[in-house]
Structure formats: structure tokens, C-alpha cells
């Protein structure tokens, strides 16, 4: 079951761009306010649709609803009573969108400049790319010791300049800041068979890149939701079955990735069953420097993925 709420500006002219934001117990209100600050520049050419994916936090949903109703941008809230997961939730958002292009944003993102939404709207209006990824940064993210490992990992492998991303366009595609044209999404939706955390957006990009052009540009937003090393390890443990699904479907692409190559090496290493808990222990050791802890956590992930290759 679901409930929908729209603000007074929802009715009227069909927008060109739909901003689609799922959230599950994370608060998207700051992101919504940042987007709304650009309402005067984009007018009614942009709409915002937010989906509460059954998080069970009635107070949070009420706060989001209040922000939605106050926005100058046309905006709508879809409130699910049961969690449907990352892929199904984004597919549901796309089905509710009215724009010719969809901008998927994670709820814990914050635009890095005041023309963020305008840049996306201009790109969709003038170039109309099939798929475009704007990148993300840690510019505004909390710089706290408990997030040092995640910061080290993200800085190395995810906060990548657009010129470098363009060399492997399907690899650096995340739903954190992703533009998709309507006809492309109609041809290739997210695979709802992916459950838990990880790889559903990369697998989608692998499928799409075989048929459509994937563009990379410099229009970043900050990933505010850094995790502790413990939370990251738990996500990696969840993601192993999803990685196996990607390997089975796209062996030609994924075999070029360092994570795959490391998993293959570790699969042949003797005593990996004993070493894997040790790698996790090193990554969780707070008094060690962030760099060695991040390296150990990458090896731990590869050791988990070794079972899939």
C-alpha cells in the first residue's frame, strides 16, 4: 500500500526534468531545500518526487511532507508502508515521473554549487543525453575520525574526475547523481531481483552502455552519508550475492575491474578462510591509520567476492 501527497504547484505544465529521490530512514529535507533554492532559475521545468521506502519513521515522513508542501518547485511524496528495496523503489519513482528525463539523487546528497539543478536542466534541454553522471565529492561531508576509512576508500575509487570516469563510462555510474532519458529507462529499468546493498546501479549501467551512450560531466554533489568501517563491512557482506549476479551476467566487463581481479587472486590463496576474519579485524582497529585500514577492508571485500568468481 502507498499514500501520495502533492503540493499546490504539482498541477499544470508538464516538466522537462523529474528529480527522483528515494529515502529509507535517511532525512532528505536538506537536499529538498537546496533544490528548492533553485526554483527561481528552473521554474516549472523541473519537478521533484520523493519516495519513502517503508522506513517506519512517521515523524520523518511528516517532516518531509511539510517540506514538500512548502516547496516552490512542483513536488510530490510517495509514502510506502512496506520496504520494496532500492531497485523497485527507483522503478516506482520513474513510473510516477512526468518529465522527459529523470535525475536520480540519493537522499544523503548535497549539491556542491548553486547552479546544480540548472546545469542538469540545461543539459537535458539542449543535449538530451541518454545517460549522464555528474560525479560526487566529499567536499561538504563530515570530517570525523569514525568516517576516516570510508573517506579514504571513496576518495580513491569514487570521487573521480569526469575525464577519468569517461574512460570506463559504465563503471562510474551511481544513482547518487544520475540523469536518464525516459526512453532509455523504458528500455532498461533497474533489475528488481537485486536485493540488499550494492551493484544494482553498476549492473544497470553495464546493460545500458551496450545500447546507449553514457556521458560523464563535472556537476558533482557531496555524499554526506559516510559510514563507519563496521557499517561498510556489513554492506560488503550484503553485496556479495549481487556481485555474483553481475559476474554471471557481464563477465566480459566485470573481469576488467580490480575488485574482480583481486577476488580471483584471493580465491587461489591458501588459508583464505582463516585470513578473511583477520582482514576485517585490521579494518576495524581504530588506532591504525586510515590508509592501511582502508586497504585491509578492500581485501576483505575481495575475499568475500572470491566465492563468486
Name all domains of the chain by residue range, CATH numbers in brackets. 2-226 (3.90.550.10), 228-309 (no CATH)
* Residue 54 pLDDT greater than 90, yes or no: no
* Residue 151 pLDDT greater than 90, yes or no: yes
From 94, 24, 35, select the one nearest 67 (Cα to Cα).
Answer: 35
pLDDT (tens digit, 9 = 90+) per residue, 77-99?
998 888 777 778 888 899 999 99
Sign of CA dihedral 97, 98, 101, 107: negative
Mean pLDDT, rounded, for 13-30: 91
pLDDT band at 117 (very low <50, low <70, confident <90, very high): very high
pLDDT (tens digit, 9 = 90+) per residue, 168-227?
888 888 888 999 999 999 998 888 777 777 788 888 888 999 999 999 999 999 999 899
From 54, 102, 67, 87, select the one nearest 201 (Cα to Cα).
Answer: 87
What pLDDT does 47 receive?
96
Mean pLDDT, rounded, for 60-77: 95
Q: What's 133's DSSP letter?
A: E
Distance between CA 7 and CA 70 in Å, rounded? 7
Degrees, nearest 5: CA angle 153-171-115: 80
Mean pLDDT, rounded, for 250-266: 87
What pLDDT does 58 receive?
87
Amino acid at each position: 500500500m502507498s499514500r501520495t501527497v502533492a503540493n499546490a504547484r504539482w498541477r499544470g505544465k508538464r516538466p522537462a526534468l523529474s528529480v527522483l529521490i528515494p529515502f529509507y530512514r535517511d532525512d532528505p529535507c536538506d537536499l529538498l531545500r537546496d533544490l528548492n533554492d533553485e526554483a527561481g532559475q528552473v521554474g516549472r521545468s523541473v519537478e521533484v518526487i520523493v519516495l519513502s521506502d517503508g522506513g517506519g519513521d512517521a515523524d520523518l515522513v511528516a517532516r518531509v511532507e511539510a517540506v514538500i508542501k512548502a516547496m516552490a518547485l512542483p513536488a510530490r511524496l510517495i509514502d510506502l508502508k512496506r520496504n520494496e528495496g532500492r531497485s523497485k523503489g527507483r522503478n516506482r519513482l520513474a513510473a510516477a515521473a512526468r518529465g522527459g528525463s529523470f535525475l536520480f539523487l540519493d537522499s544523503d546528497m548535497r549539491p556542491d554549487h548553486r547552479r546544480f539543478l540548472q546545469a542538469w536542466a540545461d543539459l537535458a534541454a539542449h543535449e538530451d543525453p541518454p545517460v549522464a553522471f555528474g560525479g560526487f565529492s566529499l567536499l561538504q561531508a563530515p570530517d570525523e575520525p569514525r568516517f576516516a576509512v570510508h573517506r579514504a576508500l571513496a576518495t580513491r575509487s569514487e570521487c573521480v574526475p569526469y575525464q577519468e570516469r569517461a574512460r570506463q563510462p559504465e563503471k562510474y555510474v551511481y544513482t547518487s547523481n544520475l540523469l536518464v532519458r525516459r526512453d532509455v529507462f523504458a528500455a532498461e529499468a533497474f533489475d528488481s531481483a537485486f536485493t540488499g546493498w550494492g551493484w544494482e546501479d553498476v549492473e544497470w549501467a553495464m546493460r545500458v552502455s551496450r545500447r546507449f551512450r553514457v556521458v560523464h560531466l563535472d556537476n558533482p554533489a557531496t555524499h554526506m552519508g559516510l559510514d563507519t568501517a563496521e557499517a561498510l563491512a556489513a554492506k560488503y557482506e550484503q553485496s556479495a550475492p549481487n556481485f555474483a549476479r553481475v559476474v554471471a551476467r557481464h563477465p566480459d566487463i566485470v573481469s576488467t575491474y580490480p575488485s574482480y581481479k583481486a577476488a580471483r587472486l584471493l580465491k587461489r590463496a591458501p588459508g583464505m578462510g582463516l585470513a578473511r576474519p583477520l582482514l576485517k579485524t585490521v579494518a576495524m582497529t581504530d588506532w591504525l591509520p586510515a590508509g592501511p585500514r582502508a586497504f585491509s577492508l578492500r581485501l576483505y571485500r575481495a575475499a568475500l567476492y572470491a566465492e563468486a568468481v
